[in-house]
Amino acid sequence: MNSNTLLTANSKKSQQENWQTICHQDDLVTHSGVCALLANDQQVAIFKINDNEVYTISNWDPVGSANVLYRGIIGDNKGEFFVASPLYKQRFLLNNGKCLDDESLTVNNYDTRIHEEQIQVLVA
Amino acid sequence: MKSQISTNIKQKIVVVGNGMVGHHFVEQLSENDQFEITVLSAESRLAYDRVHLSEYFGGKTAEDLALTTPENYLSLGVNFQLNAKVNQIDKSAKFVTTESGDVYAYDKLILATGSFPFVPPIPGKERDHCLVYRTIDDLDEIQTSANNGKVGVVVGGGLLGLEAANALKKLGLETHVVEFAPQLMGVQLDQAGGQLLRSMIEDLGVTVHTDKATKVIIDGETSVHRMEFADGSHLETDLILFSAGIRPYDNLAREFDLTIGERGGIVVDNYCKTSDDNIYAIGECALWNNFIYGLVAPGYNMAKAAASHITGGDLQFTGADMSTKLKLMGVEVGSIGDAHAKTAGAQCYTYENQPDNIYKKIVVSQDGKTLLGAVLVGDTSDYDSLLQYALNGIELPKAPDSLILPSSSGEKPTLGVDALPDSATICSCLNVTKGDIIAAIDYGAVDVGEVKSSTKASTGCGGCTALLKNVTDNELAKRGVEVSTDICQHFAYSRTELFHIIKAEKIKTFADLIHKHGNEQAKLGCEICKPAVGSILSSVWNDYILQDDHLPLQDTNDTYLGNMQKDGTYSVVPRMPGGEVTPDKLIVIGEVAKEYNLYTKVTGGQRIDLFGARIDQLPAIWERLIAAGMETGHAYGKSLRTVKSCVGSTWCRYGVQDSMTMAIFLENRYKGLRSPHKIKFAVSGCTRECAEAQSKDIGIIATENGWNLYVSGNGGMKPRHGDLFATDLDDETLVKYIDRYLMFYVRTADRLQRTSVWLEALEGGLEYMQSVVIDDHLKVCDELEKQMADVVATYQCEWKTTIESPEQLKRFRQFVNSNDTDKNIEFVTEREQIRPARFEEKTYQGQIINTTDITELNIIEKV
């Protein structure tokens, strides 16, 4: 599993890492996205594939220049999950933020985990 | 009598004449060592290509035109004698004698003596520099003559005459064509076609004189000759070429009592055998079925038939199609079959485009079902399909003129290649039939390139390229080797197929569909298949589109029931059927817009659009609008948008029907119908058409007697004028037809295909649609109507359902963990209203992003 998939409490990351609690796991919508505001004012889009797979990427659409990625349709391409921007349809891979339609584009991606039923995102 | 030949002695074959056809015959037999072949030619050189004779003046040499060489004939064991004109046949002793007295015995004699140019009996025709255009020797004479002259005249405005004129032009002469008849190419073209050809040729610098009978040729005053015409006029020229038709070279046969036709030509049967069992005649000297074929292709087929008969085969010559497509001095000319509409009861359709120099005519049978002939000048692009219609007796479309009308007037019916019999000739240059192509595919060819290389089809003039591709693709498709129509990588089905699966198997969710019918690797689907399936599920079952199963399928506009704008805000459009709105509702819209500070604009669809609503504001806005009696306008959906209307007979002094009431009724009937793409209607109350109905998917125009229905119009990127579908309908029939039309569209269109493109792509086009919707040709109308009735009965205002659901309302927020709003959304004021702030106008510095510099943007994102 790559580092972006859901990490449970026994994460191998060290204690100093800053995991920000976002919401209860039931606040996520299966096969859909929600948006969260990080402490550093950044917006992230969190997508739930199923109970064991949750991904977080930046919410900023670098092509449309708007905070909208969480409202895109998610899908799979050759086994990898992506979100298609609701503005101009560019697809960004959920596990690494790479754009499938333009190699020069990447959006930030974040480690995500469930901690005591809470969704947490690794901020720094 | 020693007619019996012992089998161990070679049969002696003597071929008189070594033109293209005589040579072709030799080729047929030369590899068979039972025969000893002797060729006797009156010309000084062996066979050459006469079809491309004019290229002799374009730089080609006699060697280039040669079809064989002495070495080649010798290596094949073919004896030949040049300058050996045969002047005697002894049919009973079976030998021929040449002018020089040489005697050649034969078992089978082949007369391939060809033809000679007809020179009209004009006094003075024997003068110097009066020539014909037939052989390479003729060309040498023409060249010499032209070197000393400035002006050249061709007598004869037929196909060969114009070829000859082209040759004179290439030689740099001022060129004239003198024709006895009133028009050029009278055999192949009708008067109008001939007239256009004439003007085009004249534009190229050739002077054409028609209705000119040459009375006498005498010494000229400024040139070598003066041609005096019957009408008293005259023409001075240095060179005259006679090209007034051909006559069969049949004097030998005539002299030695073979049967000759009334107007010349050696009579032959289907084996090309003459009245003497041991003598055959082929090519332009032969008269088959009282007809002389002046083209090379039929001559070749005669050669094959004769060779077959001699070797014991049964190949027969059964006539040939004389249809022609060629370029004369760059002008495209085509003629098919009965170009002059001589068949009893024949009817014509013509299309003439003077600015572009195009003339087309088709001749159809009395019952309008078969194509008898055609004339094409200036544009022969329709030639191939017309020829197939004519040769194979394929039934014509109901409006045969659609075959020659320009495509801008509607979809040109494409000839269904399935209708062609296997015997249909696809490539006439190389004589490749549809059957040959099928055989090539059976043998393993998998694309047009392979079919081409194995059959040689389309390697001649190339005119059949499109037809070849069509036939090949069709055959490949039948074998399952087709261009994929799969909607995406997750389903091996087209949208239409998915529709039928969902309906037939009563599938209600995407999860169920992808589980049962998705490809092996498919997990979530994608941005292509999910909205498409979401739309189909809605069209078929009409459930609330935001219920848990369906929510992930919807595009963002549907997900939040608004139109996302460039900054991530949404626009809000309440429905306003027919553009009618009460002052009270208008006031509420104004109050809402004011309270939420929304940019307000009247749309092209006669309603009001409120821009700049944040996602978290949408539910409250809609609560207000719904409380005032309004409902969602589906401006966000692939569904019915608006029914635009004029006030019609209610207010307007010209209106003949109540277009307002009809528009409101229709908008309420079809609102919420999910479809492959958006649908727009309009209803006009009279023929002045103020609602612009003819540019809509469904357009209705009032008449004195009811309603005229137009379909598949479009504005936008590719405007299309709607097609008149039915006239003077009563209310009930109008609605019935629209029900059927729309539901058939919903069922069969591709995703994101507007009705205009859909109709144009449909085989059979408008006529087919009429047969489905009006005549119930497919026996589906009951079902279509029932399905529409279900959709109408289960309508719900999606916004009403949404604001009544606390679960749904949770989704309408920017942040799952905060009540903040998106600080990147900023507005500035312009003309007293808001608009999104441009980057440089923004005050929020947290999102320092330069949208024009993607690289920098990435760096910033990663900080």
| Ordered DSSP codes for B100-164 | T--EEE-SEEEE---EEE-----TTTTSTTEEE-SSHHHHHHHHHHHHT-SEEEEE--SHHHHHH
Question: N- to C-terminal Cα distance for chain B?
Answer: 112
Order of strands across the sheet with B207-209?
B130-132, B239-242, B151-155, B174-178, B207-209
Which residue stretches of chain A have pLDDT < 70?
1-16, 124
A84–B527 C-beta distance less than 8 A? yes
Which chain A positions have a beta carbon within 8 Å of B820's beta carbon? 37
Q: Give per-residue pLDDT as tens, B502-556.
A: 988 999 999 999 999 998 888 899 999 999 999 999 999 999 999 988 999 999 8
Whether residue B361 is contained in a domain is answered as: yes
Distance CA B478, CA B417 (A): 12
Q: What is the pLDDT of residue B407?
A: 66
Whether residue B56 is contained in a domain is answered as: yes
**Measured in whole angstroms, how far is the alpha carbon of residue B304 from the centre of its chain?**
34
Assess whether B420 and B410 both reside in one domain. no
Look up tokens 């229905």; give the residue: B709
> What confidence category does residue B760 fall into, taking pLDDT thresholds of 50, 70 and 90?
confident
Whether residue B605 is contained in a domain is answered as: no
Share of chain B above pLDDT 70, in %: 94
B555–A86 C-beta distance less than 8 A? yes
Q: A120: which residues sit within 8 A by CB, 6+ positions away?
A: A19, A20, A21, A22, A112, A113, A114
Whether residue B514 is contained in a domain is answered as: yes
Question: For residues A72-103, b (16+ Cβ closer than 10 Å) or e, as one string?
Answer: bbbbbbeebbbbbbbbeebbbbbbebbbeeee
B849–A65 C-beta distance less than 8 A? yes
Take residue A31 and report the two structure tokens written for it: 């096969």
Assess whether B720 and B652 both reside in one domain. yes
> Superfamily assignment of A18-122 in CATH?
Rieske [2Fe-2S] iron-sulphur domain (2.102.10.10)
Which chain B positions have a beta carbon within 8 Å of A66's beta carbon? 566-568, 824
3-state class (DSSP) for residue B37: strand
* Helices then strands, each counted (H, E), chain A: 0, 13
Identity of the residue numbered B680:
K
Q: What is the pLDDT of residue B427?
A: 80
- Pairing between β-strand B599-602 and β-strand B608-613 as defined by DSSP bridges: antiparallel
Whether the per-residue pLDDT at B5 is higher than 50: the answer is: no
Assess whether B347 and B451 both reside in one domain. no
Share of chain B above pLDDT 90, in %: 65
Identity of the residue numbered B856:
E
Task: Please name which of A73, A76, A69 lies closest in space to residue A108, comparing C-alpha atoms.
Answer: A69
Assess whether B301 and B326 both reside in one domain. no
> If you measure CA to CA, which chain B residue comes closest to A45?
B815
Look up tokens 């000393």; give the residue: B148
In total, chain A counts a number of residues equal to: 124
Whether residue B555 is contained in a domain is answered as: no
Whether the per-residue pLDDT at B258 is higher than 90: the answer is: yes
Give the domain-ending residue among B389, B414, B439.
Answer: B414
Mean pLDDT of chain B: 89
Q: What is the pLDDT of residue B467?
A: 75
Give the domain-ending residue among B198, B227, B244.
Answer: B244
Query: Do the beta carbons of residue B681 and residue B709 sit within 8 Å?
Result: no
Beta bridge partners of B279: B109
Q: B204: which residues sit within 8 A by CB, 6+ positions away?
A: B169, B329, B330, B331
Question: For residues B212-237, b (16+ Cβ closer than 10 Å) or e, as one string?
Answer: bebbebeebeebbbbbbbeeeebbbb
Look up tokens 């009334």; give the residue: B262
Q: Give per-residue pLDDT as tens, B276-299.
A: 999 999 999 999 999 998 888 889
> What confidence category does residue B852 fall into, taking pLDDT thresholds of 50, 70 and 90?
very low
From residue B505, how far is each of B500, B516, B751, B861 by CA, in Å? 8, 10, 21, 48
Domain borders along chain A are: 18-122
Distance CA B458, CA B460 (A): 5
Whether residue B330 is contained in a domain is answered as: yes
Assess whether B440 and B304 both reside in one domain. no
Residue B663 phi, psi (nearest 5) = -60, -45
Question: For residues B271-295, b (16+ Cβ closer than 10 Å) or e, as one string?
Answer: bbbbbbeebbbbbbbbbbeeebbbe
Question: N- to C-terminal Cα distance for chain A?
Answer: 21
Assess whether B87 and B201 both reside in one domain. no
Which chain B positions have a beta carbon within 8 Å of A104's beta carbon? 854-855, 858
Which chain B positions have a beta carbon within 8 Å of A89's beta carbon? 527
Task: Please name which of B552, B640, B600 lies closest in space to residue A32, comparing C-alpha atoms.
Answer: B552
B527–A91 C-beta distance less than 8 A? yes
Take residue B435 and report the two structure tokens written for it: 């059957």
Order of strands across the sheet with B599-602?
B563-564, B570-572, B608-613, B599-602
Distance CA B730, CA B717 (A): 33
Q: What is the pLDDT of residue B858?
A: 36
Assess whether B366 and B447 both reside in one domain. no
Take residue B707 and report the two structure tokens written for it: 């309603």
Interface of chain A toward chain B, CB-CB under 8 angstroms: 22-23, 27, 29-32, 34-37, 41, 43, 46, 49, 58, 60, 62, 64-68, 71-79, 81, 84, 86-87, 89, 91, 104-108
Assess whether B220 and B279 both reside in one domain. no
B849–A73 C-beta distance less than 8 A? no
Task: Please name which of B775, B712, B716 lies closest in space to residue B749, comparing C-alpha atoms.
Answer: B712
Task: Please name which of B608, B687, B612 lies closest in space to residue B642, comparing C-alpha atoms.
Answer: B608
Task: Please name which of B242, B238, B240, B241 lies closest in space to residue B224, comparing C-alpha atoms.
Answer: B238
Q: Give per-residue pLDDT as tens, B560-616.
A: 999 999 999 999 999 999 999 999 999 999 999 999 999 999 999 999 999 999 999
Distance CA B410, CA B407 (A): 5
Q: Give per-residue pLDDT as tens, B424-462.
A: 888 876 678 889 999 888 888 877 777 887 887 876 555
Task: Please name which of B417, B411, B518, B517 lies closest in space to residue B477, comparing C-alpha atoms.
Answer: B417
From residue B746, how far is each of B47, B495, B532, B790 by CA, in Å? 65, 10, 11, 14
Q: What is the pLDDT of residue B61?
A: 87
A37–B815 C-beta distance less than 8 A? yes
A26: how many CB neighbours lie within 10 A of its CB? Answer: 8
Q: What is the pLDDT of residue B859?
A: 34
Highest mean pLDDT among B494-503, B649-658, B834-843: B649-658
Q: What is the pLDDT of residue B2?
A: 39
pLDDT (average), residues B259-267: 93
B855–A62 C-beta distance less than 8 A? no
From residue B517, how far is each of A79, A81, B7, B86, B507 by CA, in Å? 18, 20, 71, 79, 11
Chain A: give the shortest CA distance to residue B715, in Å: 23
pLDDT (average), residues B641-668: 96
Whether residue B611 is contained in a domain is answered as: no
Query: Do the beta carbons of residue B621 and residue B572 sit within 8 Å?
Result: yes
Q: Give per-residue pLDDT as tens, B366-400.
A: 999 999 999 999 988 888 889 888 888 888 888 88
> What confidence category does residue B854 fall into, taking pLDDT thresholds of 50, 70 and 90?
very low
Distance CA B152, CA B175 (A): 5
Of B552, B568, B854, which has the smallest distance from its Cβ to A31's Cβ?
B552
Whether the per-residue pLDDT at B3 is higher than 80: the answer is: no
Residue B606 phi, psi (nearest 5) = 65, 50
Look up tokens 């497509």; give the residue: B325
Specify the range with the lowest mean pLDDT, choosing from B25-29, B35-39, B446-450, B781-785. Answer: B446-450
Query: Do the beta carbons of residue B105 and residue B88 sit within 8 Å?
Result: no
Which chain B positions have a beta carbon within 8 Å of A36's beta carbon? 815-818
Give the DSSP letter of residue B75.
H
Residue B141: half-sphere exposure toward Cβ, Cα within 13 Å = 14
A87–B522 C-beta distance less than 8 A? no
> If you measure CA to CA, which chain A residue comes closest to B565?
A87
Whether the per-residue pLDDT at B778 is higher than 90: the answer is: no
Query: Do the beta carbons of residue A46 and residue B816 sit within 8 Å?
Result: yes
Whether the per-residue pLDDT at B21 is higher than 60: the answer is: yes
Query: Do the beta carbons of residue A118 and residue A23 sit within 8 Å?
Result: yes
**Domains identified in chain B, total number:** 7
B816–A43 C-beta distance less than 8 A? no
Complex ipTM value = 0.89
Q: What is the pLDDT of residue A3?
A: 40
Distance CA B213, CA B230 (A): 5
B747: how many CB neighbours lie within 10 A of its CB? Answer: 20
Tell me if chain A has a CB within 8 Å of the CB of B856.
Answer: no
Distance CA A87, CA B786 (A): 37
B807: how many CB neighbours lie within 10 A of its CB? Answer: 10
B564–A68 C-beta distance less than 8 A? yes
Q: pTM to 2 decimals?
A: 0.54
Q: Give per-residue pLDDT as tens, B160-173.
A: 899 889 889 888 89
Assess whether B169 and B240 both reside in one domain. yes
> What confidence category does residue B856 fall into, taking pLDDT thresholds of 50, 70 and 90?
very low
A77–B489 C-beta distance less than 8 A? yes
Distance CA B633, CA B90 (A): 97
**Portion 549-608 of B in contact with A at CB < 8 A:** 551-557, 559-560, 564, 566-568
Rounded to 5°, the CA angle B60-B62-B63 comes to 95
Residue B617 phi, psi (nearest 5) = -90, -20
Of B490, B566, B861, which has the smallest distance from its Cβ to A58's Cβ?
B861
Distance CA B108, CA B512 (A): 79
Query: Do the beta carbons of residue B579 and residue B644 sit within 8 Å?
Result: yes
Take residue B647 and report the two structure tokens written for it: 């006030």
Assess whether B112 and B259 both reside in one domain. yes
Q: How many CB pairs below 8 Å do chains A and B form together?
A: 120
Whether the per-residue pLDDT at B248 is higher than 80: the answer is: yes
Q: What is the pLDDT of residue A10?
A: 40
pLDDT (average), residues B311-316: 89
3-state class (DSSP) for residue B270: coil
Assess whether B144 and B225 both reside in one domain. yes
Q: What is the pLDDT of residue B850?
A: 35
pLDDT (average), residues B30-56: 88
Reported as type and span, the H/E element at residue B771 is helix B765-773
Distance CA B857, CA B863 (A): 10
B556–A86 C-beta distance less than 8 A? yes
B556–A68 C-beta distance less than 8 A? yes
Query: Do the beta carbons of residue B22 and residue B112 sit within 8 Å?
Result: yes
Assess whether B664 and B732 both reside in one domain. yes
Q: B374: which residues sit within 8 A by CB, 6+ positions away?
A: B334, B335, B336, B337, B339, B360, B361, B362, B363, B382, B383, B386, B390, B404
Identity of the residue numbered B175:
T
Of A29, A37, A78, which has the smallest distance from its Cβ to B817's Cβ?
A37
**Which range of residues forms the domain containing residue B846?**
827-862
Query: Do the beta carbons of residue B610 and residue B600 sit within 8 Å?
Result: yes
Whether the per-residue pLDDT at B776 is higher than 70: the answer is: yes
Whether residue B598 is contained in a domain is answered as: no
